[in-house]
Structure 1
Amino acid sequence: MPSLDESNIFQDTLEYFVNGGKIKKRGNVELSLALKTLEDVSKSKGLTTEDIISLIKVAASGYHGDVISCKLIKCLVPASQFPVRAVELGLSFMCTSKPSNKVQATLLRLLIAVYDYIDEKETVQKLGYLLFYFIENTVLTPYVCHLLYLLTRKEDVRLYRVRKLLELQTKLGPQPYLIGLLSIYKLYFPNLVSIVIPNTRKQFFPTRDRQWYAVIKEVQERNQAADTAHMKSSLELSEKLQAAELSMLHGIPPAKRRKVDPIPVVHSSSSKLTVKLSSRLMAMLEEKPLPFVQIQNIETLLKNPDRVELPSQMGAALRSPLLQCFMSYNADPLMTSRFSYWIQDTLCEKLLYSTQTPACFPEIESILKKLIQFTEFIQEGIPVVDKVLFRYLQIWNGLDFRQEIFRLVSRCRLYPFSVLNENILEPLRKLFVRTSVFIKCQVMLCLSQLLQNYAMVEIPRYNQKYPEAKPGISVFEDDIGMFDPLTSVIELIGYVDRLASVGLALENDHNILLHFTLSFYELVSTLHARYGLPFVYLPSRHMIRALLCDNATGPARLCGVINSYKSNCQMLKDDATNNEIEIPGYQKKETIHSLNILILDLCDSLWRRKAFSHGRNNSYLNFDLEHLATEASDGLSLYLHQAFLPFALLFLKETQPKENIGHPKGIKNVRDMFMEFLQRENIGEIKDFILNTITRYRNSTSDTKNKV
């Protein structure tokens, strides 16, 4: 609590500015002390609504000159909410000839900075028409456009305003702030705005007063933390009063969050209505807009899709499941544009512009997690989030928000490979080669999920968008131009394939990294069967490293992957429609030829016991026999392979007497029984592979079943 002396000093300071006469500026020590006191109080605990109203009358009038007026305006930091009466006074003084352009610009910057804390935004929206009269003032134009962008409703769009903005664009050139305001007008009435709005996703209104924003935010956090502590003590006291427990607890508002959540809540002045309306009056009001804050369930939302009045801040979609549902099925360009502007500004401020400290990490993680939940709900990435992500990955240390960043990358939109390589793959490659094996595994998982997202969501959306031009295929539209999506996907697979080869070489074929690499190959092998992509991409020769693994899951999963490749190639060959599709850089015949060679190598190694003595020059296991022992070819057989020797020993212990356990070579004549044993040990991929590739074994197995 401030002392009585401090309170008196602050009141004397207010009296000095509000009720004092003309203030001398040069060499005025009293003025310097008063400004210092006011600045300290505003930065420590903020000003009350009454103090803000009193000071804005003095500051907006310009009575004490530009320097003092601007300093007073910058001290108008609200302790909780910014009063709408202060907004009315500020705009009223702007309509007079008293304040200079500098003071007016500072006033508009103040309104932008405290916009989220204004208590009645609907009243400010009604005053928006006054702001348009300042649009021709080149000093004020950027700030006027920014405020109008936030305040504009459908009924505010008028033809004369569009014409005025187009005239200004002709005069000043294509300024970002003019294009930003025109983009909102075009979303409401495309027929009124004839110009083409560029699809650069550039920030229309870059933040200029970051330090001012930071002061306001710190004051809000500090005051809300104090309110929370006070409320907690009050609740503890109320629990002790047994007789009045229900009456005291009734009506107590929920505890506020300890920190200011940057995600806004659904807000509307209509939420303050507590009067129950009669059925007749409700019938009269049926055609009026229905504020979103009054919608309590999905049924009400579906019954009134055309009457819904959007909240003043579309960022509330991250908090409201109902608003997410409304955005997903309505796909209104106005909603998506407002949300895109908010999320781009918020992410740029949190990730790119501000200095990140451990204290702010929970807040940023909360935003990113809610954003991930939103993208998972609508099943698509958000273009402006991709653009911010592209910039952040260039400066990312690979540690901060790693899980959230990887999840957002996996939801990235489909772009030409050159864009992907420059903005996503290259930063991830640098992270991949210099970090531990566990982060390498996370990168592989992220890129696998990105490929799955492309195959399952993005390619179907792209194919619907351009050839058929179907409406409503995406919530967030982003026209990135025509390109071949299949070529991008094939080049992405090749890039990840090479990256996995480097990672396995760096980590000496680490089992965990090999697991994620094989999971990626399993996904690639099923792209045609599961997602209908008209190609089968066979990885490079380093894939055979899994055969030499000392863990049984490596060779077994390799057999499963090759088996999947074989069946997908057969499906692709039988599908006549896919034979007509030509993909640049993709050779189907070469892929099938390489797959046949790999199948022969696996059969020669595991079944025929001639891994290095097959006599083929194009083998994956092509070694000079002069440098190999004669028994080397038998070393990769099913029962002598280093990964299967423990299972061979267990098999012999189960099938042979304890005093006469033979050598694993004896399993040669009962390989079918050994494969049944492996299948019982959850290593059934090898049996499936042998059945699908060795015709003689398949026929003998079927004959045995028929006899039984």
Structure 2
Amino acid sequence: MPPIVDDREPPASLHDALESLEKASRTPAKQRAVKVSGVIDVICRHAFEDGLDDDTLRTVVHVASRKTELDQTSVTTLVKNLYPAQRVPADVVVTVVGALGQGKGKPSPGSQNGLVKWLAIVHEIIEDPNILSRLYGVLFGMLDMISIRTSLCHLLSLITRRKHVKPFRIQQLLEYSRSLGNEPALQGLLRIYKDYYPDIILGTTSTNRHSFPPRPDPEWRTRILAIQEWAAAVSDSTLEQPNGFKVLRKGPKRTKVSLIPDVHTYHTNEASVTLEGIDNVQDFVEKLDRIEPPGQLISFLTDPLLQKYVDLRPSPITSRRIELWLSTCLEEQYNTIKDGTGDSQYLSEILDGFLKHAQYTKVLPQLVQAFLREYLLVWDGVQDVDSILGLLSYIPLQPFHDTYTAFLRLAERAIIANSSPEAYERLLGLYTSLLRHWAVQTPPRPPPPGFALDDPNQRIFADLSEHVSQLSLSLLLSTPPTDATLLSKILTFYEVLSTCSTPYHVPILLPPSHLLYLLTLTPSTTALDRTAGIIAACKTAFNNHPGDVKDYYSKDALASMNCSLRDFYHFIWISRALSTGQNALGLHCYSSLRDTLNTYLSSLDHQYAIQTAFNVSHNPWLASLSAAAWRELEERKVREGAFDRRSVEWHRGPVSSRSLEVLGKNGGVDVGWEAYRVEVFKWLEGRGVGGLKGYIFAASTEEFRRRYGEEV
């Protein structure tokens, strides 16, 4: 006779484990062929690592939501590991709610309590967000169950909206409160009801930290985010970012006191329309004109829905209420910080709120500007640095000298006092963000009567660029060239400047020649390519400028730009690197130094010369890449020409104009010097290094671009 209990290995696959679980749930413990603990481990391990898909989740919930032969420990373990890989289907929620209550087939009170807690945790990622609202009456009717009352009150506190607050429910809650005393969770739910109808629910509701729904276990929350991100079923922000058309609720009592209150609308009646009753964008749009403003409008700094309401329904009263609160609060914060008695937490919260509002509206209120003028005088350059610099990037368009005197000089002084590379990177990031903001703010204007830089609005960009150029040149000369992050910040500023230039609005501005040549000679392929991209963008802007460009830029400005454009053309394309002459500065290399370098290279090999030392084949930052591009090009030509690979002449490199001629005559592939260079630049572009090709095509004639398949 076979044994009743067999210690065979648990099933290895999830499918087998689910079948074993369903079978075990119907089989008494002494008659099972497999230990149920091993089956539970397989399912929970899969849930923790990959999450449960819809079908698997339905199966496990179906087992956990009815009375079975499983022991309480196994059911509790299953419920604690219900990690959904996608949004929770509505039918699963219905199954869980149907499992609550008293009845012969219902699960144990402990299992029901675990399922209610699970609903409270996943209520934000349910596929149909209205399903719990439709089941509100069912859930509310179970408040008489002692075993699940606390968890049920927490769940109802999370999903309660104005439409759920009915007179009979208020009466029932008050009766529970009188008969049960100060039960924390029940008092928390009653407080939610009182927020909607303070005139009906009189008296005070005593609350403590147990009155509010507990925060989800951090490990559980982190794990569900990782699972759902990996499954690509919901966005990364499903649990972290609030719904933009729902009032933001911070939930349980926070360990840190917040200066900015939650949104609450007081003195309302049953016919009132409040922000707390809005659930979606359609509801918000339909009721916008009838919404009553909340008690403290300053909550707009942290609540996205109230922020939309304030911006879409502006009024003098609303603006005045906000200004009064902010002026009083900021003055108090400034005085306490100046005296050294302030709490940085409060100011950080206010500044973060200001920044979110500025990012949303693209406007920095005058009150905030006035505060920053004073606060920057005592700022240490460290506290709330991201918020401060973020706010400064939204300063409205005005003469750069005024902006620098009032704000930027003070910020620079505080940040530079730290003397760290990160401080300078933040500073360059500030100027880049400010440039973007000003470029968008520049109003449309007709062509100016004089030169571009004589126009006050365009002069602002020239002054900003000049200041950043001086800062960048100083940093490049005083920091090692290996500081890639700092170099990237400098290049980013000029990339933004070169790409946002538009006729009559933002002038065409190249970095000054000394800075441009220093960037060109930086030992980095990426820096060389991005510098080429900056020059290409400026050249394209000149090519596309309406009318004669000489009518809008002075001779000196055009001469300076032409020198830079020509020097880079000599440097990278026509093998005349470091050559001086008409409209060429030779990258500011002295003639004597150039001759000395040329003599040294010739002594190494008679084929070497300074003028060819920086072309695509010999440039130290491009040589290995161009060699790889040539090998790919040569292989393609051999296949297309049906060459005999054993007898064909292969190029040994490095590629030059002379070596390509010899190769064609000796039985190798026939590729011209110009075609080779174009192919190298196209090869580089296909691998993310497209600035060089962009520059060559921008600086070349239309015939050249047509020849190599470029649209003109």
Q: TM-score normalized by structure 2?
A: 0.52
- Does 1:264 pair with 2:261? yes
Is the alpha carbon distance of 1:267 and 1:611 closer, same or farther for their aligned partners in structure 2, counting shifts above 3 Å?
same
Look up the match of 2:579. Answer: 613
Is the alpha carbon distance of 1:423 and 1:673 closer, same or farther for their aligned partners in structure 2, counting shifts above 3 Å?
same
Give distance in 2, aligned partners of 1:651 and 1:303.
61
Question: Counterparts of 1:374-385 in structure 2 under 5 Å?
Answer: 374-385=357-368
Give distance in 1, aligned partners of 2:615 and 2:419.
36
Contact 2:428-2:490 at 8 Å conserved across structures: yes
Give distance in 1, aligned partners of 2:681 and 2:494.
24
Look up the match of 1:322. Answer: 305
Contact 1:569-1:592 at 8 Å conserved across structures: no
Look up the match of 2:428. Answer: 444
Residue in structure 2 matching 1:678, options 681, 684, 701:
684
- Does 1:408 pair with 2:391? yes
Question: Counterparts of 1:281-296 in structure 2 under 5 Å?
Answer: none
Is the alpha carbon distance of 1:660 and 1:568 closer, same or farther for their aligned partners in structure 2, counting shifts above 3 Å?
closer
Cα deviation digits, residues 522-571 of structure 1 (max 9, x gap): 21112334x96152223212122121011111121111111111121233
Q: Which runs of 5+ in 2 are unaligned?
A: 1-193, 199-205, 218-249, 447-454, 599-608, 636-647, 661-671
- Opposite residue 637 of structure 1, the aligned amino acid is N
Give distance in 2, aligned partners of 1:389 and 1:498.
25
Look up the match of 1:227. Answer: 208
Give distance in 2, aligned partners of 1:544 and 1:299.
56
Cα deviation digits, residues 255-277 of structure 1 (max 9, x gap): 22222211123344324x4xx5x
Give distance in 1, aligned partners of 2:536 and 2:211.
67
Give distance in 1, aligned partners of 2:384 and 2:346.
11
Look up the match of 1:66. Answer: none
Contact 1:604-1:610 at 8 Å conserved across structures: yes
Contact 2:566-2:584 at 8 Å conserved across structures: no
Cα deviation digits, residues 428-468 of structure 1 (max 9, x gap): 43324853223212211111111111111x3339x89xxxx
1:495 counterpart SS class: helix
Give distance in 1, aligned partners of 2:382 and 2:655.
48
Is the alpha carbon distance of 1:443 and 1:702 closer, same or farther for their aligned partners in structure 2, counting shifts above 3 Å?
same
Look up the match of 1:338. Answer: 321
Give distance in 2, aligned partners of 1:634 and 1:561.
23
Cα deviation digits, residues 304-360 of structure 1 (max 9, x gap): 666554334221212333321222123323322322332343344445533799995
Contact 1:347-1:388 at 8 Å conserved across structures: yes
Tell me the matched-pair count: 426
- Residue 507 of structure 1 deviates from its aligned partner by 1.6
Look up the match of 1:662. Answer: 653
- Residue 664 of structure 1 deviates from its aligned partner by 5.2
Give distance in 1, aligned partners of 2:682 and 2:342.
57
2:577 counterpart SS class: coil
Give distance in 2, aligned partners of 1:511 and 1:317.
40
- Does 1:634 pair with 2:616? no
Question: Counterparts of 1:378-393 in structure 2 under 5 Å?
Answer: 378-393=361-376
Residue in structure 2 matching 1:524, options 488, 497, 515:
497
Residue in structure 2 matching 1:540, options 512, 521, 524:
512
Give distance in 2, aligned partners of 1:544 and 1:358.
51
2:501 counterpart SS class: helix
- Opposite residue 488 of structure 1, the aligned amino acid is I
Q: Percent identity?
A: 20
Give distance in 2, aligned partners of 1:639 and 1:595.
27
Is the alpha carbon distance of 1:303 and 1:648 closer, same or farther for their aligned partners in structure 2, counting shifts above 3 Å?
closer
Is the alpha carbon distance of 1:429 and 1:588 closer, same or farther for their aligned partners in structure 2, counting shifts above 3 Å?
farther
- Residue 386 of structure 1 deviates from its aligned partner by 1.8
1:460 counterpart SS class: coil
Residue in structure 1 matching 2:477, options 505, 514, 520:
505
Give distance in 1, aligned partners of 2:348 and 2:264.
24
Question: Counterparts of 1:547-586 in structure 2 under 5 Å?
Answer: 547-574=520-547
Give distance in 1, aligned partners of 2:520 and 2:263.
57
State the Cα RMSD in Å: 4.2
Question: Counterparts of 1:328-367 in structure 2 under 5 Å?
Answer: 328-350=311-333, 353-354=336-337, 360-367=343-350
Is the alpha carbon distance of 1:418 and 1:502 closer, same or farther for their aligned partners in structure 2, counting shifts above 3 Å?
same
- Does 1:368 pair with 2:351? yes
Look up the match of 2:556. Answer: 590
Give distance in 2, aligned partners of 1:497 and 1:233.
53
- Does 1:420 pair with 2:392? no
Give distance in 1, aligned partners of 2:216 and 2:630.
72
Contact 2:577-2:614 at 8 Å conserved across structures: yes
Give distance in 1, aligned partners of 2:212 and 2:709.
77
More helix by share: 1
Q: TM-score normalized by structure 1?
A: 0.53
Task: Report which stretch shifted further, 621-630 or 399-408.
Answer: 621-630
Give distance in 1, aligned partners of 2:542 and 2:524.
28
- Does 1:687 pair with 2:670? no
2:443 counterpart SS class: helix
Q: Which runs of 5+ in 1 are unaligned?
A: 1-118, 124-223, 237-252, 277-281, 283-288, 465-482, 581-586
Look up the match of 2:135. Answer: none
